[in-house]
Amino acid sequence: MIKREFLLALFLSVLVAPACAQGWSPERNVELIVPAGAGGSLDNTGRTIQRVWDQLKLVPVPSAVVNRSGGGHSKAYAYLHQKSGDPQVLSITSSTILTNYINGRLPRTYDAYTPLGIMVTEYIAFAVKADSPIKTGKDLIEALRKDSGSLSIGISSARGGTHHISVGMPVLSAGIDMKPIKLVSFNSSSTAVTALLGGHVDVISTSNVILAPHVAEGRLRAIAISSPKRLPGIFSGTPTWPELGYKGVFHNWRGLIGAGGMTPEQTAFWVSVLKGVAESEEFKAFAAKNQWVIDFKGGADAAAFMKEAYGDLYSVMKPLGLAKR
């Protein structure tokens, strides 16, 4: 009798083992939040990720992208915060979750959620017109050192945003006061490029993907880029800020976070999914088209990356007068 019960228990354990080995997976529809409107960079990133995990059957349940724009991403993150413990609600995120917490626009930052993955990084390029006497970023810094009010610099976001910070990094590291510098804010990278081409500003700090065709056709010259090493392709001849002797590495990244309170098993599932997306040919093509760099970091590595990025940003935003915490 005892032997029979032992064999029955052994048989049942064999049946159950495969299911346990698979770990956790979603049991109902997945909602992927985009903290911005339809058609923009974050929206395209979210929809591409969702499409790839569907095509590769990495997620066993239906999923949908939901745009929750407003309040400098605060509307989306407030919604996600309300879903604490729900592993079926995720959000696209970016460096805005760090900058807008530092400047007081967000009540919480990355550590209130579950970091799942860093997917891509976009770097910020500085450009001038092709006939400008400024040939490199070093020329720009030396001109500002001589007379910090002599040049106007267009930034493709509001003051306190990523492009403002990208200017502050090399300028502050050169020991130059930012206050006299003429900063002109634009609502988009395209508007900033138009202003530069029209001679309304002397220099712009903007997305490298928007600059790429103008640089390729010789209308604009890229004088520095915020990457840690030179990029291939169109920007292969553009020096990095560290090459020129200044701080200026800025990772304008896109990633995913989950609600707070996710278990290790739930986190592991989503890290595996996102790694599969990052390694897919479609996602690689998407990144290449946008001049983005894939350097996937999942789970704990993503959290460590965000923590380090927070410290770097705070060290620049504080002297710029942008830190409210």
Tell me the domain boundaries of the chain: 28-121+251-317, 124-244
pLDDT of residue 159: 80
pLDDT tens digits along 273-294 = 999 999 999 999 999 988 899 9
pLDDT of residue 291: 87
User: Which phi-psi region, left, alpha or beta, contains residue 166 (left: φ > 0; alpha: ψ -120 to 50)?
Assistant: alpha
- Are 28-121+251-317 and 124-244 equal in CATH topology? yes
Q: In whole angstroms, give the CA distance from residue 38 to residue 88.
A: 21
> Which phi and psi angles does 109 have, rounded to 5°?
-125, -160
Mean pLDDT for the stretch of residues 102-109: 95
The whole-model pTM stands at 0.84
Mean pLDDT for the stretch of residues 23-44: 93
Q: Does 13 score more than 80 pLDDT? A: no
DSSP assignment of 88-130 equals TEEEEEETHHHHHHHTTS-S--GGGSEEEEEEEEE-EEEEEET
Residues 6+ apart with CB under 8 A from 86: 259
The contacts found for 278-286 with CB under 8 angstroms, 24 or more apart, are 278/117, 278/119, 280/52, 280/56, 282/48, 282/51, 282/52, 282/55, 283/48, 283/49, 283/52, 283/119, 286/44, 286/48
Q: Does 16 score more than 60 pLDDT? A: no
Q: What angle do CA 238, 244, 246 make, to 5 degrees?
A: 120
pLDDT tens digits along 209-251 = 889 999 999 999 999 999 999 998 899 999 999 999 999 999 9
Alpha-carbon distances, residue 144 vs 141, 161, 186 (angstroms): 5, 21, 21
CATH class of the domain at 124-244? alpha beta
Average model confidence (pLDDT) for the chain? 91
pLDDT of residue 22: 59
Closest CA to 208 of 119, 122, 289, 94: 122
pLDDT of residue 9: 40
pLDDT tens digits along 165-217 = 999 999 999 999 999 999 999 877 888 999 999 999 999 999 888 899 999 99
CATH superfamily of the domain spanning 28-121+251-317: Bordetella uptake gene, domain 1 (3.40.190.150)
Residue type, 154: G
